[in-house]
A and B are shown apart, each in its own frame.
Chain A
Amino acid sequence: MALQEKYKELIDTATAQGVNNLNVREQEGVLYIDGDASGSIKQQLWDTYERLDPNYSSGDLVMNINSIAGVTEGSKLKVTTNSSNLNIRSGPSTDADIVGKAARHEVVTLVSKANDQWWEIKTDNGAAGYSYTQYLTPL
């Protein structure tokens, strides 16, 4: 229960912000917080986490706030890489061949979700394949 006290502010914020399917459990010295929320709530929770545990260095919390659970096939996604183009690959892995690129800030279409890390997308130019969801932001 000690970890729930350490991260009380985080849990309270998640509750107050209406995180869906919120699940808080403590097991073998690690607190697990799971749920679905918008990208802005996810950001707020991560900023709170960083304040309570600077640099996340304690290794006592695994927080998985899914901000892409509600995104449906056919949705438009913006490419939000730091600076480079986004690789489009033949399969859901960095081992798969690069079959195309999407420019930074280009808008692409979600075809299907392979998993939470890899989505099949297509560009308006006809390039299609799998890209890493971390660099895709739902519009």
Chain B
Amino acid sequence: MKNLTMKTTALLVALVIMGTTFTSCKSGPKDDAVKAAVETALLSNPHIAEAAVTVEKGVATISGQVPDDATKADVDKTVAGVAGVKSVVNNLTVVPETPSVPVAATDVLTNAVKDATKDFPTVTATVNDGVVTLKGEIQKANLQKLMMALNALKPKKVDNSQLVIK
């Protein structure tokens, strides 16, 4: 979540900068001020992942992505409450957030992989950034058992493409 929030903030900051640069020439000064106020108001909502704001003659158009309908409705209220906004066109699309897949810490995973491969001395396993790479050889009859054990350890990925299966 921390990561997401940082990303959100960075995106919004980028959008604010881009917005001021690109639209200042075509809209009037009043619209620009309203647009800046809308963007500031939206910054206070941590759920808005991506939103772009345009204001033309007091009509604020918001596009981008939010994680749920409630956030979309919140944006309506927030934007409508900004001084100078006459009406709001809410073009936000709802894209549910998917939390990132939990991957075991490297030391935990390394120890767990060592335990899981102990009974297969012809297999060598290395762990790098959550990826378990298998080399050496294994009997076909034992492959499923080994893969079941490794898949249960919360790896990012199990790469056995270099493992010789006999």
Contacts and interface: CB of A to CB of B under 8 A. Distances in A.
A and B are partners in one complex rather than unrelated chains:
yes
Interface of A: 25, 27, 30, 32, 42, 46, 50, 55-60, 62-64, 66, 82, 93-95, 116-118, 132, 134
Given A56-B147, A56-B158, A64-B152, A93 B115 contact: yes
Residue from A62, A116, A134 with most neighbouring chain B CB atoms (10 Å) = A62
Interface of B is mostly: mixed
Given A116-B152, A117-B116, A59 B161 contact: yes
Given A116-B152, A134-B116, A55 B160 contact: yes
Given A46-B147, A57-B160, A134-B116, 10 more contacts: A27-B100, A42-B148, A50-B144, A62-B151, A62-B158, A64-B152, A82-B119, A94-B115, A117-B115, A117-B152
Contacts of B30: none
A55 B165 contact: yes
A65 B125 CA distance: 22
A59 B160 contact: yes
A82 to B, nearest CB: 8
B152 A66 contact: yes
A26 to B, nearest CB: 9
Interface string B141-165: 0011101110111111111110001
Contacts of B100: 27
B111 interface: yes
B115 A46 contact: no
B111 A93 contact: yes
B161 A25 contact: no
B98 to A, nearest CB: 6
B112 to A, nearest CB: 6
Majority SS of interface residues in chain A? Answer: mixed
Given A94-B118, A117-B112, A117-B115, A55 B143 contact: yes
A25 B111 contact: no
A53 to B, nearest CB: 10
Given A62-B151, A93-B111, A116-B152, A32 B101 contact: yes
24 contacts: A25-B98, A25-B101, A27-B101, A30-B156, A30-B157, A32-B101, A46-B147, A50-B144, A55-B160, A57-B161, A58-B161, A59-B158, A60-B157, A64-B151, A64-B154, A66-B152, A93-B111, A94-B114, A94-B118, A116-B152, A117-B115, A132-B115, A134-B148, A134-B149
Interface string B108-140: 000110111011000000000000000000001
Contacts of A25: 98, 101
Nearest to A33: B151
Contacts of B161: 57-59
Nearest to A84: B119
B124 to A, nearest CB: 15
